[in-house]
Amino acid sequence: NAGVTQTPKFQVLKTGQSMTLQCAQDMNHEYMSWYRQDPGMGLRLIHYSVGAGITDQGEVPNGYNVSRSTTEDFPLRLLSAAPSQTSVYFCASSYSIPGADSNSPLHFGNGTRLTVT
Amino acid sequence: DAKTTQPTSMDCAEGRAANLPCNHSTISGNEYVYWYRQIHSQGPQYIIHGLKNNETNEMASLIITEDRKSSTLILPHATLRDTAVYYCIVRPTGTASKLTFGTGTRLQVTL
């Protein structure tokens, strides 16, 4: 098992450019989510998905889109990058839904470091 | 959501036990306590979780007070590789919900 795989590891964008951060998991996990991490802010939830075809917003969804067409993949799209989106982005998955009657831990990828100039 | 409070930072000598406290005084009866850690900019790593009983695994022990308003993560013999930020999280109520990470405790293990 590769676990949770994020690509690319590093990315530099100019303001206004668009891009997609990729996230894939091979553990057949239903739940997937995206976090961003900024210095002194901890991890903040952007979007999450409880299964293929279902997505919902987290704490900081503005400027980001997601879709979940398969169980394995959960890409995060930046439609028009802004310097405020400079951050480290983490994708995470778990077997079942956090908060439901289960206790599956989250598995994280190793992050994508994005700089917007 | 039940909020958690952790010290900003702690030090521990290598080989000694590291005891990391967490306050979660508004926890609900069916909410679990989870601990994760993040080593140097890697993705967070799951450590342990519990509901009301104390738990132990190969990484750590989790002690939850009887009233469940606080817990302590214990690394029994800390090593330099345990230097990391440790997050205490309470799984929120409701379905399909969102784990919220605070700023955690930065544990520095020293020689």
- At B95 the pLDDT is 46
CA A96, A99, A101 angle in degrees (round to 5)?
Answer: 65
Contact B44 A108 (CB under 8 A): yes
Given this model, what pLDDT does residue B43 score? 93
pLDDT digits (tens, 9 = 90+) for B19-65: 999 999 988 887 889 999 999 879 999 999 888 889 999 999 999 99
pLDDT band for position B96 (50/70/90)?
Answer: very low
Residues of A in contact with B93 (CB under 8 A): 99
Task: Spell out the per-residue pLDDT of chain A, length 117, in tens.
Answer: 789 999 999 999 999 999 999 999 999 999 999 999 998 788 899 999 989 999 999 989 999 999 999 999 999 999 999 999 999 999 999 887 665 555 678 899 999 999 999
Of the ranges A90-104, B7-21, B82-96, which one carries the lowest mean pLDDT score?
A: A90-104
Backbone angles phi, psi at A6, to 5 degrees: -115, 135
Q: What is the distance in angstroms between the Cα of A81 and the nearest Cα belonging to chain B?
A: 22
Residues from A contacting B (CB-CB < 8 Å) are 4, 33, 35, 40-45, 48, 50, 56, 58-59, 88, 90, 92, 97-101, 103, 105-111
Phi, psi of A91 (to 5 degrees): -105, 145
**What CA–CA distance (Å, rounded) separates A44 from B20?**
22
